[in-house]
Structure formats: structure tokens, C-alpha cells
Structure 1
Amino acid sequence: MTDTLIADTADRLMAEVVPPAAVRGLKDRAAAAPVWSLLAESGFLDALVAEAHGGAGLSAAETLPVLLAA
């Protein structure tokens, strides 16, 4: 994957799933649960997990765009 593809996808996902207004409403676990579910479905939460274990197997540097988007 290219850095641009990862960054663009992460930016779009965060803008759709957790825009700034939504982040303010995530003060309790119940409100945050649906957001975590959507992020888990995206695969970004498993970015650093080895492919052999069901993750993307990305390096720490390759996941930087995801962290910046978050």
C-alpha cells in the first residue's frame, strides 16, 4: 500500500465516523462503542498485527498516517 492510499482512506474514515463534533460526544463508553466497532471493521485497528494473525502487517512508519488522521 502506498502512504497516500493509507492516508487518504484514514482521513475519509475519520471524517465520516468521528468528525470533531462527534468526538465531543464520546465521553462515555456506551457512546464510543459504535465508533470503535466501525473502526475495527475498517481494519485500521489491526494495522500493526502480522498478516499471519489476521492483520495488515504494516510497519510503525506505515501506520503513521492512520495515527495522524485519528
Structure 2
Amino acid sequence: MGKQVLVVAFQAAMEIMAEQFPGAFAGYTLQVMESHQASKQDTSGTAKAIISSFQKLGVSFEMDQVPKA
């Protein structure tokens, strides 16, 4: 399987989990780092989708907290 297929599958799984178990991760912390796009000014759509799913699961995290490494 290629990386893109795995990323799409992971995003879909996260969204399904967020819909079925809202708030399940409340109280947990999250770290998202974009290592392959350090020169980009904006956070990628992939990172935004993952963060959105985690927010629905109850994790407090904002898009501007994503470091670019």
C-alpha cells in the first residue's frame, strides 16, 4: 500500500471514531508536527483533518500549535 492510501485510511478511521466516540479522548494532550513541509507557512489539510477529528474526540488543540520541523 502506498503512503497516500494509508493517510486517507487513517483520516477516515479518525473521523469514524470521532463520530462514534465523541469526547473519548477528553483530558489527553496532543502533539502534531509537520516534518515534511517545514517551509510551508500554512498547516496542511491532512494535519487540519487529523486535528479536527481529535478535537471532536475531546482533545484541546488549536491549529496554530502545530510546529514546523
More helix by share: 1
TM score, norm. by length of structure 2: 0.35
Structure with the bigger RCO (C-alpha within 8 Å, sep 6+) is: 2
TM score, norm. by length of structure 1: 0.35
